[in-house]
Amino acid sequence: MTAERLVVYEPFRSIFYAPQFVTLYGGHFAAEGLDVEVRTSTATVTTTSALIDGTAEVSLGGVMRSLALADRGGPRLVHFAEVNSRNGFFLLSRVPRPAFVWSDLVDRTVLSFAEAPTPWQCMLTVLRRHGVDPARVRIERTRPVAEAIAAFRAGHGDFLETGQPFTELLIAEGAAHLVASMGEATGPLPFSSYMTTTAALADRRDMLTRFTRALYRAQRWLAGAAAADVAALIAPAFPDVAPGVRQAAVARYLAQATWAADPILRAPGYAYLHQILLDGGFISRRHRYEDLVDDGIARGVVGG
C-alpha cells in the first residue's frame, strides 16, 4: 500500500517541537500510512498561508494564529491536536540573580522573541500577576533570534528571553544565567497545536484521525522516555546542535512537563490563553472555543 503524502508546516525549527519529530522519526506517522514532510515557514510561506492556499493541509503553531485571523475576519483555521502544554521560553540574565524577583525587570531592557507574539504576551501577563507594570519594562522585539543573541553577547540588554537550544548554549558558555522558566511562570496552557482548514476537517477526517493517532503514540512514548533517548531520536532534525546541548534542552523541557500528555486541546486551557491575548491587546474581542478548536478527533483517538 502506498503511503499518503502529507506536507506539514512548522513556524520555526525548535527542540520545543520535539513531539513532532518523535512522531516522525519514531515511525508513528509511517505506521498510520502517512509519508510526512515537515517544512519550516518562510517570509513568503507561513503556517497559516500554507493552509489557506492549499500548500499544506496541516500546520503546527499557536492558537494565537487562528485568533489573529478570526479577529480580522479572515478564514477559519481549526486546531485539532495539542502538542505543547507550556510556554517553551526562558528568561536569562547577564549576571547571576539567585534571588530574582519580577520587579528586577523594572527599568531594564529585555530582548524578547520577535518571531511570534505569544511569548511576549505571556510575559505581560506574568509581569502583571507579580504586580509589575509592563510599561516600566523595556521589552524589545525587533531582532530575530540570531541577532538578539548576538546583541546580548555584545552587551546590549539586561535580560534575554529565548528558547532552546540557545538557552543551554548560553548557560554552558557562561554568557547568561537562568533566572526564570517562562513555562513555569506562565503555567499550563495549549501553547502549540496542529491546525487545519474547515474543508479538511470535513473531507479528510480519516487522515487527520490517523495523524492524531500517530501523535498520541509518540506522546505516550515521550511520557516515559529518558532525555538521552529523546535527544537521540530527534537528532536528524537538529544536525547542528551538539548531542550534549540537545539532551540538556530535552531534559529541561521534560522536567517542566512542556509536552502534552495527550492530543486533546481542552476548553479551560484555551480560555486561559485567550484571556492572555485579550489582556495584552493582541485580539480585540472574544472568540468561541467551539469555533477554533475541534476536540472530537483527539477525544476519539484517546478514548479508542
pLDDT in tens, 11-30: 999 999 999 999 999 999 99
Last residue of a domain, one of 186, 201, 233: 186
The H or E element containing residue 207 is: helix 205-224
3-state helix vs strand vs coil in the chain, percent to 5 = 50, 15, 35
Residues 82 and 193 occupy one common structural domain: yes
**Which among 126, 112, 211 has a CA at the least distance from the CA of 156?**
112
Q: pTM of the predicted model, to two decimals?
A: 0.95
Q: Are residues 161 and 296 in the same domain?
A: no
Among residues 130, 158, 186, the one where a domain terminates is 186
Task: Determine which of 2-6, 66-70, 241-245 has the lowest per-residue pLDDT on average.
Answer: 2-6
- Average pLDDT rounded to a whole number, residues 215-235: 97
Separation CA 116–CA 56 (nearest Å) = 20
Last residue of a domain, which of 164, 186, 208?
186
Contacts of 261 (CB under 8 A, 6+ apart): 85, 219, 223
Task: Report CA-CA distances (Å) from 137 to 106, 112, 179, 273.
Answer: 5, 11, 16, 22
Whether 208 and 289 map to the same domain: the answer is yes
Helices (H) and strands (E) in the chain, counts: 15, 10
pLDDT in tens, 89-134: 999 999 999 999 999 999 999 999 988 889 999 999 999 999 999 9
Q: Are residues 245 and 128 in the same domain?
A: no
Residue indicated by cell numbers 503556517:
47
